[in-house]
Amino acid sequence: MILRWCFSWLVAILLCSRVPPTRAFFRSELRPSAIPKGRYLARLFEKLSPLPAGISPFEKSTAKSLDIQGDFRNLAAPALQKALRDGWKQLEIDFPPLTGGDQSKTQFDDFDNVQELNANRDWCVQLAPAIASKNREVWFILPDDKECELAKEEWTGQRFRQAAKFTSVRAAVLKTSGESQYSKAWGSTIASTMNKLTGGDGILADSSTLDDLGSGDRFHLVCQPGNGGPVEDWINVERLHKADPSQPTCVVNGALDKVRDGYYPAVFFPALARTIPFYREFEAVFILKPVSDKGVYGWLYRVYPEPWQVVLQEPQRKQRGDQTVVVVEDKVALVRETRPSYKDIVDALLVTASQS
């Protein structure tokens, strides 16, 4: 009897050992150096999206010849569609908007908020046709009416104009919730009052250039709210979404970590602090954030529905003919189902660098 019982347990263990791990396997952190060598796990790591080419600051000259922002869109668009099919309503995209092209810049270069906003605007406009649907309107939502007016002057092609309704945070909130729910920035309130006194309509832009918004199903594509602008943008995005939570909202480069991590003290920004639970519910669709600390450089990276990755980048000098060139080697330092903390990211980069 005892022998039969032991044999049954042995068979069960052998059978279970042949079942490949699921995504639950990623609930604890994985470092490639600590992973059991098996064909299934090797294939699993091969399926993780590699970092886009040319994004390293060590490859700045290479980045100038690449359409890196186009590569970002090619990764983000299908990931966004998958997240929408899975039922997510609060979505987030975050990446370096100035990397790639003739004027390529990294986080170590100087740039101003206008350059950043223009780059984010152009990226979103070109994303719109890839996510357009006959079943819903895409509301392309810029921080203010003037930015919307400038965007329509810059992007006149029908492919882009027909893919989305060009509007502003103000206009979107007024359409869905009314004037009482729109939180005005104190600076814009003063400027708007002065604009009215001088004969304007108080909007500081030609509001007639904004597209008419429908009342059916929609998708909010919100470009850079709050980051570099008034904190009221973040408050208004929450009010826009909560007017009808069944309509999905995607924030692009909105620096939501600043809100979630308490960058703005609650004692001075109580209304903004109340949005923290809302922004903590956002699902990461495409995240690519540089991390530089303690002599190591890498990236926090995620493409939905894959797990999070921490990737170390190390420059290597190699001889090619008569020339010495810099080749960047990517090493996956950490894989985790949930987003790792900053300390976990740096620790993983340091451990992986020490093993090189």
The confidence score (pLDDT) of residue 242 equals 97
Among residues 88, 176, 164, the alpha carbon closest in space to that of 123 is found at 164
Using alpha carbons, select from 302, 289, 218, 219 the residue that is nearest to residue 253. Answer: 289
| 300's tokens | 């926090």
pLDDT at residue 103, as a whole number? 74
Distance CA 151, CA 145 (A): 10
How much is the pLDDT for 46? 59
User: For residues 54 and 62, what is the distance between their CA atoms, to the nearest angstrom?
Assistant: 6
Per-residue pLDDT tens digits for 229-246 = 899 999 999 999 999 999
Tally: H helices and E strands in the chain? 14, 9
What one-character-per-residue DSSP string does 145-214 give?
HHHHHHHHHH---HHHHTTSEEEEHHHHHHHHT-GGG----HHHHHHHHHHHHTTS-SSSS-GGGSPPP-
CB 249 within 8 A of CB 237: yes
Segments in the chain below pLDDT 50: 1-28, 31-43, 190-191, 193-195, 202
In tens, the pLDDT along 34-71 reads 444 444 444 455 589 999 999 998 887 788 889 999 99
Nearest residue to 239 via CA among 179, 190, 285, 282:
179
pLDDT at res. 229: 85
> How distant is the alpha carbon of residue 310 from its chain centre?
15
Residues 6+ apart with CB under 8 A from 98: 104, 105, 106, 109, 111, 115, 116, 119
- The position carrying tokens 């780059």 is 119
**What is residue 318's predicted lDDT score, i.e. its pLDDT?**
77
For the chain, the C-alpha Rg in angstroms (whole number) is 24
Identify whether 305 is preceded by a cis peptide bond (ω within 30 of 0).
yes
* Dihedral-angle region of residue 199 (phi above 0 means left; psi in -120 to 50 means alpha; beta otherwise): left
Local structure of 327: helix, strand or coil: strand
